[in-house]
Amino acid sequence: MLRIDSLHVHYGTAHILHGINIEVKSGQIVCLLGRNGAGKSTTLKTIIGLVPKSSGEIYFKEGPIDRKSAHEVARMGVAYVPEDRRIFESLTVEENIKVAAQAVSSGDNQRVSDALNLFPDLEPRFSQIAGSLSGGQQQMLAIARALAMKPQLLLLDEPTEGLAPSLVHSIRDGILEARTNGISILLVEQNLSLALDVGDHFFVLSKGMIVFHGDRQELLAQEDLVTEHIGVGRVKEATLQRKKT
């Protein structure tokens, strides 16, 4: 589905990504983990075409996309939800989703309905102005809007940052349902418990380099690595949270 080969990215003279390799297979949720400043958001922005690569290759469905604009990449079936959401605050929930749906087709109401079905909390707010929603509801709207484009690959940047646990659960359910509907996902997430709940494969990024990749059990077995590159005690904390839920 998505393959990144030896990707290097610079911001001016700063070398941000150092030859990283990442693969997202069809139907997978792949989690990209790491501390702030590791290069996770830059990775997503480079995939979608907002940040230029210095070298390396990015393939989507076996074709190169690293020389295409963000609009062209979206048209090919890649949707991106940035950390700051970027919803249209003056439009209603319905209008936000319709704008996204119409960007890739001629106004398919079924796309709007399908996107809303993933987040039941939004349905009673169909006519509400998006700027009046809570932070968690705005995050759900940002994801629903992206899903209304019927992507094959969804790029999610920190979708649960700062949200209450109940809203985190709603976001998690929406992510899992999206995968059930055949959408592959590359998820950047600081919430290790959520990542372990939804992820099929994991990459850990540190100072612009991949220092680990493997499945859930392999990650849990690397407590020292997680402590160094994600945070002290994160494996134990995440394990306890998952037992509670």
Q: What pLDDT digit, counting tens, does each position of 1-41 carry?
A: 999 999 999 999 999 999 999 999 999 999 999 998 999 99
Given this model, what pLDDT does residue 238 score? 57
92 DSSP assignment: B
Confidence of residue 150 (pLDDT cuts 50, 70, 90): confident
Question: Does the pLDDT at position 147 exceed 80?
Answer: yes
Mean pLDDT, all residues of the chain: 88
Most confidently predicted of 18-27, 118-127, 222-231, 234-243? 18-27
Listed in order, strand segments (DSSP E) in 137-234 are: 153-157, 184-188, 201-206, 209-214
Question: Does the pLDDT at position 81 exceed 70?
Answer: yes
What's the residue count for the chain? 245
Q: Is 243 helix (H, G, I), strand (E, B) or coil?
A: helix
Given this model, what pLDDT does residue 121 score? 84
Domains and CATH numbers, the chain: 2-77+155-244 (3.40.50.300), 86-150 (no CATH)
Residues 163 and 135 sit within 8 Å (Cβ to Cβ): yes
Stated as kind and residue range, the H or E segment containing 109 is: helix 109-117
Given this model, what pLDDT does residue 200 score? 95
In angstroms, the CA 200 to CA 217 distance is: 10
Given this model, what pLDDT does residue 245 score? 52
Confidence of residue 54 (pLDDT cuts 50, 70, 90): very high
Given this model, what pLDDT does residue 106 score? 54
